[in-house]
Amino acid sequence: MTATAPLAAAAIRPSQAARRPPTFYRDPVSCLQSVFGALLADAGHDPVAALGARWEFRHIPGDVRPEEFYYPERSPGDVAATLMPYHPVRSAWSVPTTADPLGELAELIDGGVLPIAAVDNYHLPFRPAFHDVHAAHLVLVFGVDRTRGLVLVSDTMPPAFSGAIRAEDFLDAWGSSNPADDQDAFFSDAGIGRRYLTLDIGAPWPADDPAALAAALRANDTDLHAEPSPDTGQWTGLAGLRRYVEHVVEASRAGDGDVLKSVYTFGWGQQAMCSLHGELLRGRGHAWAVPALREAGRQVEAAAHTWSGLRLTAAHGWPDPVAAADDMHRHGTRLCRRYEAAATAASKAVTALAQPPR
C-alpha cells in the first residue's frame, strides 16, 4: 500500500488549519458514527452523550444498501435525526450543482461547514483497500488546496488518517461507480455519485444530567416495548427484533444467501448504536454513583457484542445459507434474550435515576 504523508500545518491556509477536526472512534462504530462524533466534538459536545442517548431496533425490509454508512432512517433523508432524536442535530445529503465540485466543498468549508463525502476506498491511498477492494465509505473533508491540487481529509476508522491526498485521487473516490467486488460482498455495488452529507448542529443543547438521561431512557423503553405500526413498513422495538431474527433464520433455511449477506451490513449500525448507548449508561452510572445505571450499561454492551456472532455467521455463511441456519438461529435467539435483559435493566435504571442522591 502506498500512503500519502499528512500535509504540514504550515502549508495550509490559517482558516483551514484551525478547522482540522478532532477524531472520534470506538471499535464497534462505523464511519457514520465516527464522522458524526468528530463533528460533535468539534462543536464542543460529547459525542457519546449525543450518539449514545438513543437505543432502538429498526429494520426496513428491502432498504438495506451495500454501504458502510447504511442506517435505517425513521424519516427518509435525515439519518442524524434518527440517530440523535433528543438533540438538535439534523443532516442532509447533497450533490454538487456546478461544474466545479471541489469549489463547492471549498465554499462550504470557508463558511464553517465541514462536508462528509461518500467515497470508494479503492481510490484512497491511505486505505488498506487502495487499488484492491471497492467499498462505500465516508470521510470528513476539511480543506481544499487548489494551488497544490490537494484535498484535506480526516478518517478515524483504522488505520486512521488526517492529511492531504491528491485531488485526482479524491475525485476518483468521490465519483466512483463502486462496482460489484467479489472481495467485498457487503459494501460494493453501490454508486458513490459525488454525494456529500452535511450536519447541522443546533441549539439549545440538552443538559447532560440524570433528568435528561432518564427522559431519554423512558422514551427508548416506550418504543422498545411498542408493537410496530404496520403503516410504516418498519420492524421496530423488541417485537421487530424477534420478527427480524425469524426472517433471517427462515431465509437461511430456504437458501436465500442475499438476506444473510445483508445481515452484516444492517447489523453494523444497530451494533454501533447499542454499544454507544451501553458506554453512555455505564460511564454516567459510574460518574453519578448509580449502580443500576452501570449495570444497565453493562447489559446493553453485552447485547451489542452479541451482534458480532450473528453478523459474522451471516458474513461467512451467506454462500451456503442452509449450512449456516442452525448457527443463525442460535446467535439470533441469544441476541433477542440479551436485548430483553438489557431493556429490563434500563427500565430499572430509570427508577434509580429518579431517586435523590445519597
In tens, the pLDDT along 100-150 reads: 999 999 999 999 999 999 999 999 999 999 999 999 999 999 999 999 999
What digits encode the pLDDT tens for the residues 145-189? 999 999 999 999 999 999 999 999 999 999 999 999 988 999 999
> Over 70: is that where the pLDDT of 313 sits?
yes
At 202-235, the pLDDT tens digits run: 999 999 999 999 999 999 999 999 988 888 889 9
89-101: per-residue pLDDT in tens?
A: 999 999 999 999 9
Residue 64 phi, psi dihedral angles, 5° rounding = -60, 125
Q: What is the CA radius of gyration of the chain?
A: 21
Q: What pLDDT, on a 0 to 100 scale, did the predictor assign at position 222?
A: 97
Provide CB contacts within 8 A for 64, sequence distance 6+. Answer: 70, 72, 262, 265, 266
Quickly state the pLDDT bin for 236 (edges 50, 70, 90).
very high
Q: What is the reported pLDDT for 356? A: 62
Which residue is it, cell 432512517? 73
Q: What is the pLDDT of residues 9-66, one digit of tens each?
A: 333 343 344 368 999 999 999 999 999 999 999 999 999 999 999 999 999 999 999 9
Residue 1 pLDDT = 32
- For cell 456546478, what's the residue? 98
- Please give the pLDDT value at position 75: 78
At 259-287, the pLDDT tens digits run: 999 999 999 999 999 999 999 999 999 99
At 10 the pLDDT is: 32
Give the 3-state secondary structure of the chain. Answer: CCCCCCCCHHHCCHHHHHCCCCCCCCCCCCHHHHHHHHHHHHCCCCHHHHHCCCCCCEECCCCCCCCCCCCCCCCCCCHHHHHCCCCCEEEEEECCCCCCHHHHHHHHHHCCCCCEEEEEHHHCCCCCCCCCCCCEEEEEEEEEECCCCEEEEEECCCCCEEEEEEHHHHHHHHCCCCCCECCECCCCCCCCCCCEEEEEECCCCCCCCHHHHHHHHHHHHHHHHCCCCCCCCCEEHHHHHHHHHHHHHHHHHCCCHHHHHHHHHHHHHHHHHHHHHHHHHHHHHHHCCCHHHHHHHHHHHHHHHHHHHHHHHHHHHCCCHHHHHHHHHHHHHHHHHHHHHHHHHHHHHHHHHHCCCC
Give how far Cα 204 sits from Cα of 58, 277, 330, Å: 27, 22, 45
What average pLDDT does range 55-83 have in this prediction?
95
CA–CA gap between residue 351 and residue 358 (Å, rounded) = 15
8 pLDDT higher than 50: no
